[in-house]
Amino acid sequence: MAILFHSPWDNADQWLAALRAALPKDEIRVWPDVGARSEIDFAMVWQIPPGVLAGFPNLLGIASLGAGVDALVADPDLPRNIPITRLVDPLMADRMAEYVCATVLHYHLGLDIYQEQQERAHWQRHQTTDAPGRTIALLGLGQMGQRCAHHLGGLGFDLLGWSRRAKEITGVRCSHGLSRLHQVLASADIAVLLLPLTVETTNLMDRAAISAMAPGSYLINCSRGEIVVEDDLIAALDGGHLAGATLDAFRAEPLAPDHPLWRHPKIRITPHIASLSAPATAALILAEQVHQARNHRLRQDLVVIDDGY
């Protein structure tokens, strides 16, 4: 049997080298050069064109090459009788936590203010706030959110958490359900989005949610661009309700050169790098998923299609 591989990333060669090392007895076929489709029993994909996966009659499993699976579950022809996994790599969670800590600290220390002052050659010190006096809200409490909570808690921040279902996490005051979202946002100095893209989270951060945020607070989005209504965010920044935002994910990627987000003075942009997959460690996880699927016991990190993650 053979394995299907598809990735638009510029490090696809690194992925293939790592996968071939982890699965030396397998033939890995790169889309669209798939050969006999009946010989392929496992697929490792990212943003594969809709309808493609339905054309492989002997698939035992489908693995996402990243933590997100929204593009997969949006495929109307996705085979629903085949187990699908998302990539849960502790290294990716560490990378996300590092990104979130760096961005939170940027705002916590007032570095955005001092950067603006530098541009004007203006010397002025501002009153500091210690970490216990700064409330951070983590929206999304999966593996990524919990790892971020661990790191931020170690720095002493006051932590709130919000999720779809009830969670209990040491050191985090947790809430759940849409009815509690605005209350959490109103209590936070910095809100961090770590949510999967689902029907429920699409456009979640709209005018009402952003208006519920505390005046002078900050928004960090390192999940999916479709969660934030960009025009509503810009309006809140222009009107002075929000002090700033860091965006790592966008509705259309790469972000168009003429997009107004690029040039907004209160917005910091990174090109979807908060938690990049690491081929060397991910390949070992994917190899284990292949072995499980072929033994008909794939139970690791399964996606619930109806939930969207």
* Confidence at 270, pLDDT banded by 50, 70, 90: very high
Q: Of 199, 217, 287, nearest to 23 (Cα)?
A: 287
Strand-pairing partners, residue 174, are: 161
Structure-block tokens of residue 159? 């932590």
**Pairwise CA distance, residues 146 & 162, whole Å:** 11
Task: Give yes or no for residue 53 having a pLDDT over 90.
Answer: yes
Report which secondary-structure segment, H or E, holds 290: helix 279-294
Report whether pLDDT(269) > 90: yes
Domains and CATH numbers, the chain: 2-89+277-294 (3.40.50.720), 90-269 (3.40.50.720)
> Is 122 labeled as catalytic in the residue annotation?
no
Catalytic residue among 150, 207, 272, 294: 272
pLDDT of residue 300: 78
Q: Using a pLDDT cut of 90, give the percent of the chain over it.
A: 94
Q: Which two tokens stand for residue 170?
A: 């040491």
Active site annotation includes 150: no
At 222-266, the pLDDT tens digits run 999 999 999 999 999 999 999 999 999 999 999 999 999 999 999
Q: Average pLDDT, stretch 125-133?
A: 97
pLDDT at 102: 98
The pLDDT of residue 305 is above 90: no
Element containing residue 20 per DSSP (H, E) = helix 12-22
Residue 299 has a pLDDT of 82
The active-site residue, picked from 95, 106, 134, 224, is: 224
Give the pLDDT band (50/70/90) at residue 11.
confident
Say whether pLDDT at 298 is over 90: no
Is 17's pLDDT higher than 90?
A: yes
Q: pLDDT digit string (tens) for 146-183?
A: 999 999 999 999 999 999 999 999 999 999 999 999 99
Q: pLDDT category, 10, cuts 50, 70, 90?
A: confident
More confident residue, 253 or 307: 253
- Does residue 51 have a pLDDT over 90? yes
**25 — pLDDT class (breaks 50, 70, 90):** very high
